[in-house]
Structure 1
Amino acid sequence: MEKKKISIIALDPRAGQSYGRDVESLFGDVADVSVFSVMDGTAMGVLPHADLFAASTDAFGSPEELARHVPIDSQTMAVEASFRWQELRRLKELPAGSRVLFVNMTETMAREAIAQLEQFGITQVHWIPFYPGAELPPDVHIAVTPDEMRYVPEEIETKIDVGQRACTSGMMIEIALRLGLEHLLETEKFQTYFQSIATSNYSFDQMFARSIRLESQFHILMETLEDGVVGVNEKGEVFACNRHAEEITRTSADLVVGKAASQVFPYIPFSKCLQEREQLPAKITRLNGVNVSVEVVPVMRQSACIGAFALLQRFNDVEARQSQLRNQLLHKGYRAKYGFEDVIGESEAIQRTKDVLRRMAVSESPILLIGQTGTGKELFAHAVHRASRRKDGPFVAINVAAFPENLLESELFGYEEGAFTGAKKGGRLGLLEISHQGTLFLDEVEGMSPALQIKLLRVLQEREIMRVGGTTIIPIDVRIVAATNESLEQKVAEGTFRRDLYYRLSTLPVEIPPLSARGNDLFLILAHFQQELGTCFRLSPQVREFLRSYAWPGNIRELRNVVEYFLYTGHDPITMEDLPPTVFHRAGKPISEQTGAPAVPPEPSEVFRFVLEQLYRASEDRQPIGRERLLQLAREAFLPTSQQEIRSVLAQMAEQGLVRISRGRGGSQLTADGRRLYENGHIHSIK
Structure 2
Amino acid sequence: MKQDIAVISLDPLAGQFYAGQVRELFGQRVSVDAYSVQDGSVGHISRRYALYMITTDAFDTVGDLHQYVPIDGEMMEIQVTFLWSVIRQLQALPPGRRALFVNLSQKMCREAVVHLNQLGVNQLLMDLYHPGAPRPDMSKYDYVITPREGRYVPEGAREIIDIGQRVCTSSTMIEAALRLGYEDLLESEAFRRYQEGVATNTYSFDRVFSRGLRLESQFDMLMEILDEGLVGVNEHGQVFACNRKMEELTGIPRSEALGQPAGQVYPFIPFDACLREERPQPACVVGVGEVNMNVAVTPVLRGGNCIGAFATVQRFSDAENRQNELRTQLHHKGYRAKYTFADVRGDSPALRRCITMLNKMSQTQLPILLIGETGTGKELFAHSIHRASPRSSSPFVAINCAAMPENLLESELFGYEEGAFTGARRGGKPGLFEFAHKGTLFLDEVEGMSAALQCKLLRVLQEQEIMRVGGNRIIPVDVRIVAATNEDLEERVEAGSFRRDLYYRLNTLPVLIPPLRERGEDLLLLIEQFRKENGAEFTLSPEVKQLLLTHQWRGNIRELRNVVEYFSYVGSPVIGPEDLPPTFHYLPVSGEGAAVSHAAPATGFPYLKEYPSRDQDFVLQYLYQAGENGGGAGRESLLKAAREAGLTCSQQEIRRILLSLSQQGLARVGRGRGGTCLTPNGRLWAQRLAK
The TM-score, its normalising length taken from structure 1, stands at: 0.48
The higher radius of gyration belongs to 2
